Structure 1
Amino acid sequence: MTSLPEDPPSPIGEDDRDTAVQRLQEAYAEGHISHEELEERLHQVLTAKTRSELVAPLASLPEGNGGTTSTIAAAGGRIRRRGAWRVPRILKVASALGSVDLDLSRAVIEHPVVDIELQLGTGRAKITVPRDATVDLEDLHTGWKDSLYKPPQRSHVGGPRIRISGAMGFGRLKIRHARRSQH
């Protein structure tokens, strides 16, 4: 019996890996998988070389909720988003210990207003917003150090409004505008 030739396995892209990691973190934050399962599945995702190797660690996870609200959570370590990632309407970021680095300068932002809710214990946070974005920090409560944010001298019109709320314990939030437009 002769078998049909198989298609070569398709290599995994950085976006595929980031999406898989985000789905695992959301499932953990929502209580669908345990911390041990999260670590095991993250290891599988981070060492995968082809898309087919992402099937097993993502099996049995609930489907995403349509991209309106997303949660990124970590007990410790670094939370990082950069490049052309899709920014949900509401992004919740929770970290007990570690750093947060969100770069929205090249992200896909489909909403005129994006709410970022921070719940951070100890560690620094850095958010880079698009050059033409406006930033609202009125609902952010800082415990130890004030946030570092200097609005641009010349405002650019037409960008998204980024509203940052939540609470930070010991750490500092630094917000900066991208130096130039990425589009």
Structure 2
Amino acid sequence: MISYVRNVGKTVLAAVVSLVFIVGAAGCGNTQKDDGPDYADDEAMSIIAKAYQKRSALLKDFVDNYKLTVDSKYQDPLNDIVANGSSVKKKTETEDALNNLIASATFEKTDDGYGYYAYSAVIENISGIDFGTVNLILALYDADGVKAAEVYASTNAWPAGEKVKFETGSDADAAQVKASVDHYEVDD
């Protein structure tokens, strides 16, 4: 009798699990076709990509520093992840170097006498990295610490060792300028 109850219990459990999977799969289907693409939204993809990059960097660290090994059938996927971890590390180092260059800059303000101000800084690329295009956003803050404007400054080429003058203008009379990197490219 006990074995009969166990068998019935297993059957009921299997039926419930199957029903949950069927309902879940049906809920995942899109019954209405929209005009947009059939992939997740950009925000979700960005979160997934960041998590993958962090995981790749961690696994690279485990392989390099702790001699992580896997069975031969898993070696190719691990090699792919470690290669991605290497590129993530290189990208992080590049972004850190560029952000440090920009953070060390002091933007000077020049008044043209007609209500327009030029903001400029000469920055030397001591990173050892040859940059192509570098676009900066300059946030201009007034004396009360309120962001009055955002303007852009850029260069099309910034080889290692070269000084570049980043310059822009605005009618905002800023008491403080905060520069950040909007976009960059590395020359190969």
| TM-score class, shorter | 0.3 to 0.5
Given the two structures, how large is their TM-score scaled by the length of structure 1?
0.33
Given the two structures, how large is their TM-score scaled by the length of structure 2?
0.33
Bigger Rg, which one: 2
